[in-house]
Amino acid sequence: MFLSDVLRRPVVGPDGPLGFVADCRVAVDGTPGQLLANAQLVGLVVAPRNRQGFLGYERTSVSSPAPLAQWYERRQRGSFLVLWEDIESIDDVVRVRPGYTRWSSAL
Amino acid sequence: MKRYFAVALGILTAIGGFVDIGDLVTNAVVGSRFGMSLAWAVVVGVVGICLFAQMSGRVAAISGRATFEIIRERLGPRAGTANLVASLLITIMTLTAEVGGVALALQLASGVQPLLWIPVAAFAVWLVIWRVKFSIMENVAGVLGLSLVVFGVALFLLGPDWGELKDQALQQTSHPRETPLTYWYYAIALFGAAMTPYEVFFFSSGGVEERWTEKDLVTSRANVLVGFPLGGLLSLAIAGCAATVLLPRGIDVDALSQTVLPVAMGAGQLGLAIVILGVVAATFGAALETGLSAGYALAQFNGWSWGKFRRPAQAARFHLTIIICLVVAVLVLLTGIDPILVTEYSVVFSAVALPLTYLPILVVANDPQYVGEHVNGRLLNAVSSVYLVVILVAAVAAIPLMILTKAGA
């Protein structure tokens, strides 16, 4: 499966639609490689309305220029991180397991 | 001493490199129809290109990444591809206009039909890109392009009514033959001519070619902040010449010969010879830059090895892209389409495509992961945020105005 196939897919929870896959989170803590360790998928970022990414403004350390930062902050309001183990299945829609946790998507 | 020399040379090439066929044609057209009353649009465009080039130059110097590497990284594949296609189309269109401009200028010098010059011009562009060292290529074209200063000299020799030109610029005298819609259409055209996207692709990729580091930031800033405004002054001189000679006589500019006519009247045969040299150098230099920019954009986006600092065999797809773009430009021109018309459309479409590259550069120039401590300051962010709005408005308004005014007719 390609990551670009998963991005922008609708996400459905046990109680109905949650939004769309806006981004993914990886951690570079897999098997050590020559330069870096392998990346491991931590989870998917789900945004209620926005299918596009956040241009890097999901990082709390970046807040300028102010108008752009505020625009993207508004666009990512309500977005959250679902861990990979909480994902039940991925086909046309991404299904999330019952009892999943909404983690903060801020970095 | 060497450093001062580098700064001076950089400024000179920035002045010569600023003016291309888009500036030559648009400023003359506007001068002949509106006098100096759209001078403000040139000023707005010059400030914009200074902001844009300064940011992308800084990002290139610190992060070692050129514009399209960043666009791919920040926008992702889908939005990035749309961006690439639009930017590449505009760049090829501009390349077509520049090659046509070289042919028209050579026609002025020789009397030989432009159709015969087109393949020669394109072949020469390819040969220089293939063989000549980057720094030599850039400096020779830029310094020869400085001959266009003769527009300024001619303006003085023509002895215009300076008060009248000033009134046109500041008091917005009326133009009985024009409508407000054509006024705004040409404002966007001038803005697009000054703020052509390829200039920024070329500037930032050139920074990587010349291996800029943090130490070169001062040089790059001086090139931009001194060279581009002086280039803008040259644009205003072109418009001023047209406003003095062509406007009162009701002559419309639809050929390159009319652009240089005021120079011939003001500075005589010698002036004419110098201005033709200048036009050949400026359009040829811009054809090199646009050809390279097309290669840079596609190669950087796809992660191919690119750059003139590599041998062509080591950057084969980069060079192949340039060759294909040149062939496309020649084929388009050989249909007999008027290069001046291509130019007039290319500057307006430049304004349409501008937000696509301006936005990612603005974002990344604020990202410490790319530029460390050299992120934009508050003042720069305030001004560049205002410009984001200006650029968006110009981009949205350009096509409707083009349709409503029948492309400024």
**Mean pLDDT across B85-111:** 95
Q: Which of A64, A70, A107 is the best substitution to test chain B (most B C-beta atoms within 10 A)?
A: A64
**Mean pLDDT across B372-386:** 93
In a domain, residue B409? The reply is: no
pLDDT given at position A33: 75
pLDDT given at position A36: 77
pLDDT given at position B117: 96
How many CA atoms does the CB half-sphere of B357 hold within 13 Å? 34
**Mean pLDDT across B356-373:** 91
Find out whether B315 and B305 touch, Cβ atoms under 8 Å: yes
pLDDT given at position B239: 96
Asked if the ipTM is above 0.85, the reply is: no
In a domain, residue B15? The reply is: yes
Closest A-chain CA to B72: A55
Q: Greater confidence, B400 or B254?
A: B400
Task: Give me the number of domains chain B comprises.
Answer: 1
Q: Estimate the crossing angle of helix B339-364 against helix B180-194, to 10 degrees.
A: 60
pLDDT given at position A107: 78
Q: Where are the domains of chain A?
A: 3-52+78-97
pLDDT given at position B267: 93
Distance to chain B for A60, nearest Cα, Å? 11
**Mean pLDDT across B108-122:** 94
CB contact under 8 A, B366 and A7: no
Residue B398's pLDDT band (cuts 50, 70, 90): very high
**Mean pLDDT across B62-85:** 88
| Nearest residue to B200 (alpha-carbon basis) of B325, B357, B93 | B357
Find out whether B59 and B204 touch, Cβ atoms under 8 Å: yes
pLDDT given at position B205: 92
Cα–Cα dist A10/B344, whole Å: 44
Average pLDDT, chain B: 92
In a domain, residue B211? The reply is: yes
CB contact under 8 A, B362 and A65: yes
Q: For A78-107, how does the pLDDT look when each residue is reduced to its tens digit (9 = 90+)? A: 889 999 999 888 888 999 999 888 888 887
**CB-based contact (8 Å) between A31 and chain B?**
no
Domain assignment of residue B149, given as a range: 2-404
Residue B314's pLDDT band (cuts 50, 70, 90): very high
pTM: 0.91
Q: What is the CATH number of the domain that holds B284?
A: 1.20.1740.10
Which helix (H) or strand (E) covers residue A41, if one does?
strand A40-47
B131-169: b or e for each residue (b if 16 or more CB lie within 10 Å)? eeebeebbbbbbbbbbbbbbbbbbbebbebeeeebeebb
pLDDT of A50 over the 80 cut: no
Q: For B234-252, how does the pLDDT look when each residue is reduced to its tens digit (9 = 90+)? A: 999 999 999 999 999 999 8
Compare CB distances from B366 to A4, A52, A62 and report the shortest one's residue. A62
Superfamily holding A3-52+78-97: PRC-barrel domain (2.30.30.240)
Handedness of CA B386, B391, B396, B401 (dihedral sign): positive
Q: For B159-190, how does the pLDDT look when each residue is reduced to its tens digit (9 = 90+)? A: 999 999 999 999 877 777 788 899 999 999 99
Provide, rounded to the nearest whole percent, the portion of chain B with pLDDT above 90: 75
Q: Which of A55, A57, A59, A75 is the best substitution to test chain B (most B C-beta atoms within 10 A)?
A: A55
